[in-house]
Amino acid sequence: MAPPSFLDYPPEIREQIYGDILSTANSRVESNDPDEPAHYEYQLAILRTCHQIHREAKKVFQDNVFIKITTPWSEAVEHIRSEGKVPSVTTGEKAEMFRDFHLWVFIDTPGAFYPNPHGRFSMLISLEDLESFNRFWHFSNLNNDRLNQHLRLKLTIRDPHVPDRKIPKDLQARLLMPFGMIKDLDTFTVHGSKLLPSVDEALKKERAIPDPTPEQCLEKGFALKDAGNALLKLGLHRQALQKYIDSFGAIHIHVSGRVRTVHCDGFYIRSLTSGTHKGQRGEIARTILRVQLVANIVLAYLKLEDFVEAHFWGKRSIVLFRHSVTGEDSDEIGEGRQDWVTHTWAFRIPARDAMGKIFYRTALASRALGKVADMKTLMKAAAVYLPHDEIVQKEIKALEEQRD
């Protein structure tokens, strides 16, 4: 007896299979390289099997919601993808020719003229990545003062499958509200024959809210760190970790698992004019908070007895610290290579005590993991930065007695 063909299966089974291979969620491929964004691999070959399968599968594929982004700058498309880590469905000519999109995002400058479409560059993204795109644009504007004042944005919302059909309110909001963080543009317009006034008004209100100042971002970041410290004292270690991650987010540092992406450095390079840190340089206050957060995150993982994560967080910051002093990229610290610890510049680092705590706590994680040489080097470095800490000095004395 011949096995059943695909079309012999019930329609609901076939639809489930179409969804498994054609949905955006299942077509996303994460990169093994933290410097590379994810991408999408839709199994579109199924559309070429037969007329019936093409008709059924296309209907499922059309449940995906795509956004087409067009600019006159080819480098902008690559910048969004590589620097912004925004996954693309496709780029270039394929994206320019694609028509089944729900939102067209057209970015250019006032007075721009396009005699033909070959002077435009497009990329296609999924609805799931629209927030990331807008966040990256928002960060770019903060980092490059007055960037948006030289840009105009035109949004066109549409149903790609049924002309003039109204897009549901929930979907309109998901497509348009992420642009609420894009402010101070030369020109901003929204088009669409079925655009709901309530969504349009909500977007205008969101765009009218001023961006937080560096002072406000730092105040929020330090407050979240303090809230995390309070939770840590109560033994609520996981909740404390989340507060520390939120604190990073408040100062434009995105943390996802082990990947930490720093945005908006230029935004903080200024003297602070108000708040707790009035009179300080913004970049120094931010550095202090970053070092304190890492020290506390390492402590939280030690409390959880997750020594692998404690060691990872501490070691990464130590390697970055050494690189800033020496320019070396090596991940190895190693005994006999400690001159960088006492380098003149190293002693000028803000939050020196917190840096000492990172050395000490990472040393404890190294000991728990059996990394004896690593532990000795880190403990000696901790003693340099915490010369009056009795616990650290006791550890050093024990190490010296073991050597004797």
Per-residue pLDDT, 205: 96
Question: With bands split at pLDDT 50, 70 and 90, how would you rate the model's confidence at 164?
Answer: confident
Q: What is the per-residue pLDDT across 86-102, written as a single tens digit (0 to 9) for each?
A: 999 998 889 999 999 99
Question: Which residue segments constitute the domains of the chain, with CATH numbers given?
Answer: 1-64 (no CATH), 65-207 (no CATH), 214-403 (1.25.40.10)
Residue 247 to residue 244: CA distance in whole angstroms: 5
Per-residue pLDDT, 328: 57
Per-residue pLDDT, 23: 87
Mean pLDDT of the region 140-152? 89
The answer to whether residue 85 scores a pLDDT higher than 60 is yes
Residue 124 CB neighbours (<10 A) = 20
Question: What percent of the chain lies above the pLDDT cut of 70?
Answer: 91
Q: How far is CA 70 from the centre of its chain?
A: 23
Give me the chain's average pLDDT, please.
88
Mean pLDDT lowest for which of 38-42, 197-201, 336-340? 336-340
Residue 166 to residue 120: CA distance in whole angstroms: 28
Q: What is the per-residue pLDDT across 55-66, written as a single tens digit (0 to 9) for each?
A: 888 888 888 999
Contact call for residues 42 and 86 (beta carbons, < 8 A):
no
Per-residue pLDDT, 260: 85
Q: Please, which residues have CB within 8 angstroms of residue 273's CB and are 6 or more apart in sequence? A: 215
Contact call for residues 332 and 316 (beta carbons, < 8 A):
no
Of the ranges 141-145, 197-201, 342-346, 383-387, which is most confident?
197-201
Mean pLDDT lowest for which of 68-77, 210-219, 223-232? 68-77
Question: Which has the closest alpha carbon to 228: 218, 216, 242?
Answer: 242
Please state the three-class secondary structure of the chain as a single string: CCCCCHHHCCHHHHHHHHHHHHCHHHHEECCCCCCCCCEECCCHHHHHCCHHHHHHHHHHHCCCCEEEEEECCHHHHHHHHHCCCCCCCEEHHHHHHCCCCCEEEEEECCCCCCCCHHHCEEEEEEHHHHHHHHHHHHHHHHHCCCCHHHCEEEEEECCCCCCCCCCCHHHHHHHHHHHHHCCCCCEEEEECCCCCHHHHHHHHHHHHCCCCCHHHHHHHHHHHHHHHHHHHHCCCHHHHHHHHHHHHHHCCEEEECCEEEECCHHHHCCECCCCCCCCCEHHHHHHHHHHHHHHHHHHHHHHCCCHHHHHHHHHHHHHHHHHHHHCCCCCCCCCCCCHHHHCCCHHHCCCHHHHHHHHHHHHHHHHHCCCHHHHHHHHHHHHHHCCCCHHHHHHHHHHHHHHC
Hey, what amino acid is at 324?
A: S
Q: What are the tokens at 3? A: 């096995």
pTM score above 0.75: yes
Q: What is the per-residue pLDDT across 99-145, written as a single tens digit (0 to 9) for each?
A: 999 999 999 988 765 554 556 899 999 999 999 999 999 999 998 87
Residue 9 to residue 401: CA distance in whole angstroms: 75
How open is the CA angle 180-183-187, to the nearest 5 degrees?
110
Helix axes 390-403, 372-385, angle to 10 degrees: 130
Question: Which has the closest alpha carbon to 210: 181, 188, 185, 186?
Answer: 181
Residue 92 CB neighbours (<10 A) = 14
Per-residue pLDDT, 335: 46
Question: With bands split at pLDDT 50, 70 and 90, how would you rate the model's confidence at 266?
Answer: very high
Q: What is the per-residue pLDDT across 171-204, written as a single tens digit (0 to 9) for each?
A: 999 999 999 999 999 999 999 878 999 999 999 9
Mean pLDDT of the region 347-370? 89
Contact call for residues 148 and 185 (beta carbons, < 8 A):
yes
**Do β-strands 187-191 and 152-157 pair in parallel, antiparallel, or remain unpaired?**
parallel
